[in-house]
Amino acid sequence: MQALVQACRREQWPARIVAVIANRPQAEGLAWATAQGIATAVVPHRDHPSREAFDAALAREIDRHQADLVVLAGFMRVLTPGFVSRYAGRLVNIHPSLLPAFPGLHTHAQALATGAQAHGCTVHFVTPVLDHGPIIAQGVVPVRQGDTPEGLAERVLQVEHRVYPMAVRWLAEGRVSLADDRRVQVRGVAERLVVWQGETA
Whether 127 contacts 138, CB under 8 Å: no
Catalogue the long-range contacts made by 44-49 (C-beta closer than 8 Å, 24 or more residues apart).
45/77
H/E element, 60: helix 51-64
- 42 DSSP β-pair partners: 22
Q: Is 65 among the residues known to form the active site?
A: no
Separation CA 20–CA 39 (nearest Å)? 6
Check: CB of residue 184 under 8 Å from CB of residue 134. Answer: yes
Active-site residue, from 95, 108, 124, 161: 95
Which contiguous run of DSSP H or E holds residue 194? Answer: strand 193-195
> For residue 107, what are the CA distances in angstroms to 36, 57, 100, 160?
32, 30, 11, 14
Closest to 168 (Cα-Cα) out of 13, 2, 12: 13
The residues carrying an active-site annotation are 95
